[in-house]
Amino acid sequence: DAGVIQSPRHEVTEMGQEVTLRCKPISGHNSLFWYRQTMMRGLELLIYFNNNVPIDDSGMPEDRFSAKMPNASFSTLKIQPSEPRDSAVYFCASSLGQEAEAFFGQGTRLTVV
């Protein structure tokens, strides 16, 4: 299996622009997580899906952030409009079952200028 695949690996955008991050979970996994990592705040859980349904989005910082999972093999995290403080590494992770470990993608490094 190719593991969790994220795209793009790097994104540089101007403040105010829309940014879409993409994730393909490991085939057969039924849980998907979006995390954001910064030096100041560490690894923060943004949103968690189970069987394509958003279960907990309490970590989504603002209405500017939205996430979807239209099917079991694809998820997006959108930021509109983007701000410099959104600059971070965004990770997607997936797991099989509700007690299992999660496996991470390579991450997307987002820079908003």
Partner 1 sequence: QKEVEQNSGPLSVPEGAIASLNCTYSDRVSQSFFWYRQYSGKSPELIMSIYSNGDKEDGRFTAQLNKASQYVSLLIRDSQPSDSATYLCAVRDSSASKIIFGSGTRLSIRP
The residues of the shown chain that bind partner 1, judged by CB under 8 A, are 31, 33, 35, 42-43, 45, 48, 50, 55-56, 91, 93, 95, 98-107
CA nearest neighbour of 70 among 51, 57, 55: 51
- Min separation Cβ 75 and partner 1, Å: 15
How far is the C-alpha of 57 from the C-alpha of 40, rounded, in Å?
21
> Looking at beta carbons only, is 25 or 105 nearer to partner 1?
105
Specify whether the CB–CB gap between 92 and 6 falls below 8 A. Answer: yes
- Min separation Cβ 26 and partner 1, Å: 12
CA nearest neighbour of 80 among 14, 3, 10, 9: 14
> Looking at beta carbons only, is 15 or 43 nearer to partner 1?
43
